[in-house]
Amino acid sequence: MKTEALDPRYRDLDLWPTELAVEAMLEGQMAAIAALQSQTLAIARAAEAAASRLGRTGRLVFVGAGTSGRLAVQDGAELWPTYGWPMTRMVFLMAGGVSALTEAYEGAEDDVEAGRAEIVAAGVGPDDVVIGVAASGRTPYTLAAIEQARSLGALTIAIANNAGSVLLDAAEHPVCAVTGSEIVGGSTRMKAGTAQKAMLNLLSTAIMIRLGLVYEGRMVAMRISNEKLLQRGRGMVQDIAGVDAEAAAQALEVADNEIRLGVLVALGRSVAEGQALLDTHGGDLRKALTALEGRD
């Protein structure tokens, strides 16, 4: 595997001046991001398929082991505060369990039976989208989970860093950034991890966009949980609805700090009318506004 290969250029890395070592590591990070350039179409297709499959009830299921699993969990966990994606519609399957997020569990990534069993226990089915992440592309736990999920009818997406790996072959939508050998041999938390984080960011954000949770470049489904976000939410309502600051603040308060609903209230709809519009259009503010224009 290229990700496990030792690069002879860095055999004396421990003898280098620290600044040169840091510069070399930075170059590696930049190369990792550049490796994604060839994968934009694959990511886009995976995102479109995922958004179509999820509908109103489907779940996002993130699967991984070690660094890859931690990155997957991190990406999924940020979807609730950023896009309002319900935690009830997310499943995190980490080799070794949730405690493996902070502690290494040797051998957990090799547990094929656990990978299969946890997919079954989670009730994964045709409405769900399962994303498996593994730098090697052959982690037994992750591979078994993807194979089991696909057999149950779920849409499967694989993210890896070694072309032609079994995980990529097992999933309907393979995404692969070939990052090559690491500056510190085998430390896939470096280049491979950076590429995985970026791929996950791109994929999940594209899914949220296709689900209508972004409007005019704004996070209109964002959860308001502090004063800074409250001010941001008021600003969104003000800009989108074209009202003054006071009217935006009042509308958002009436809408219980739900930005999309606040926009519709600011445009003169009752909470009930606005919520019905959003429900009819799957929470997509653009579609709701278009329908509103048609009525008017």
Cβ burial, residue 4 (10 Å; 0-12/13-18/19+)? middle
Give me Rg for the CA atoms of the chain: 22
- Residues 94, 150: Cα–Cα separation, whole Å: 18
Cβ burial, residue 56 (10 Å; 0-12/13-18/19+)? exposed
Q: Which secondary-structure segment (H or E) carries 80?
A: helix 79-83
Contact call for residues 72 and 200 (beta carbons, < 8 A)? yes
- Residues 210, 205: Cα–Cα separation, whole Å: 9
164-183: burial string, b at 16+ Cβ within 10 Å, e else: ebbbbebbebbbbbbbbbbb
Which residues face 132 on adjacent strands? 63, 158
| Enzyme catalytic residues | 78, 109
